[in-house]
Amino acid sequence: MRKLLLLSAVAIMALSCSSDKATIKAKIDGLNNGRVVLKVLRLNTQVVADTIKTDNEGSFVYKAKNLSEHPEFYYLYYKENRIASLLLAGGDKIYLTTDTLGSEISVEGSNESSLLNELEGYLATKDSEFRNALLERSAALNSKNTALADSLNYRLGSMFVKYKQDAIKHLYSHPNSLTNVYLLYHKLPGDLPLFGDMRDILLYRRVYDSLSNSYPGSVYLNPLLDEISLREKSEAISSKLLDASEVGFPDLRLPDAKSKMRTLSELSGKPFILVFWSITDVNQRLFNRDLLELYDKYSAAGLQIYQVCVDTDKTAWARAVAEQGLPWINVCDGLGSASSAVSTYNIVEVPSLFVIDKSGTIVARDVFDSQLEKLIAKIF
């Protein structure tokens, strides 16, 4: 009896010791006697976990240690190319085939890893389609083809709606999958968040609640909860902003290129456009050309513009303002996303603008191109 108990204890110890290990058997086409790097996601940063050698056929067997029972995001790199993504947990035995570009990936032995690579493949295809449409729109704007640009704007909007519908379908179809964390933070080309709307907080909460049951000890739960808290705070600020619009607009006080403090309230009694922008995006510089045309057309009638740069490089900002010859009020405090102006007006992406009439009422937000001109024409 004692011997049986001893053997049982040994078996339990062996099981517990192996539960924090995982095995990856891989074949990388086109890589003979080479090296790949395994990285693990830590908060918002990928950290090198190990460097792995392949044999003369591009194969390797790697044993990962000290893993959590809950899957974590691991990425396999060859040079600068991410050639495979894994959701790796203790006890996993994964069989992987890929190539040096990561274009042909097959994963067996982990449902989460298989689902992750399937999702990444879909997102890569959609991102490519969206990027091409953005380039077409940029070309149309450069050539002053307004009709084509408007058509492409509509097309981009339709693409985004379909993209997001498919993403929500994934969230609902796989409620207990950690791939949902990856999906929630995905951005489209142009740095456009897929789930950037304040109302998406309901989806964030749904994912958090589901994963709390499936993976209660996951390292990704606390950051997700922090994101939910941040969005709830932003939603509260947005509500205050809507309340403010009934009696006037929240005032700003920021330095211009000559370090003179300029307030937004100095434009009270006049119709004006409040614009948030960044010099780092060429499309936003092109947008300034549209604003110049609008300003030249209506400034004599009283139109004013108060433009806030959200960058941290004030020298580059001042140079850009001078190069473009922007005649209206331009300000920047160099604090970037930490600027009080950004939080006051709940700015989550740029360019972003507000149209304010002479009574101080915010009459519209984020209207662009022909819609913006029609609104200004209506005000005057």
Q: Name residue 362's amino acid.
A: I
Going along the chain from its start, the domains and CATH numbers come out as 17-109 (2.60.40.1120), 116-244 (no CATH), 253-379 (3.40.30.10)
pLDDT at 348: 83
316-375 pLDDT, tens digit each: 999 999 999 999 999 999 888 878 888 888 888 889 999 998 888 888 888 888 889 899
Provide the H-helix boundaries in 299-380.
314-324, 340-344, 369-379
Q: What is the DSSP letter of 266?
A: G
Tell me the H-state helices in 278-339: 282-298, 314-324
Cα separation, 373 vs 379, whole angstroms: 10
DSSP H helices in 174-220: 179-184, 201-214
Separation of alpha carbons 255 and 354, rounded Å: 20
Sign of CA dihedral 106, 107, 111, 114: negative
The first and second tokens of residue 8, run together, are 């049982």
Q: Are 115 and 138 in contact (CB under 8 A)?
A: no
Going residue by residue through the chain, which has 380 residues, state the pLDDT in tens, using 9 for 90 and above.
333 433 344 443 444 444 889 999 999 999 999 999 999 998 778 999 999 999 999 999 999 998 888 999 999 999 999 999 999 999 999 999 999 999 889 999 999 999 999 999 999 999 999 999 999 988 988 998 888 888 888 788 888 888 989 999 999 999 999 999 999 999 999 888 888 877 788 899 999 999 999 999 899 999 999 888 887 777 665 555 554 544 457 888 999 998 899 999 899 888 999 999 999 888 888 889 999 999 999 998 899 999 999 998 899 999 999 999 999 999 999 888 878 888 888 888 889 999 998 888 888 888 888 889 899 988 87
User: What angle (nearest 5°) sits at the alpha carbon of residue 190, between those of residues 184 and 193?
Assistant: 20
- 304, 310, 311, 312 alpha-carbon torsion, rounded to 10°: 110
pLDDT of residue 216: 92
Q: Are 240 and 345 in contact (CB under 8 A)?
A: no
- List strand residue ranges (DSSP E) for 43-132, in order: 45-53, 59-64, 72-78, 81-88, 93-99, 106-108
Q: What pLDDT is attached to residue 295?
A: 93
- Cα dist from 39 to 49, 55, 86, 100, whole Å: 5, 20, 10, 16
**Region label for 33, one of left (φ > 0), alpha (ψ between -120 and 50) or beta (otherwise):** left
Q: Is the dihedral of CA 98, 131, 203, 173 positive or negative?
A: negative
Euclidean distance between CA atoms 365 and 362, whole angstroms: 8
In this structure, the number of other CB atoms found within 10 A of the CB of residue 208 comes to 18
| DSSP tally for the chain: helices H, then strands E | 10, 17
Cβ(123)–Cβ(101) below 8 Å: no
Q: Are 198 and 231 a contacting pair, CB within 8 Å?
A: yes
Six token digits for residue 120: 């990444």
Indicate the pTM of the whole model.
0.58
Burial 109-140 (b: 16+ CB within 10 A, else e): ebebbbbbbebbeebeebeeebeebbebbbeb
pLDDT value for 247: 41
So what's the pLDDT on residue 3? Answer: 39
CA distance 196 to 187: 9
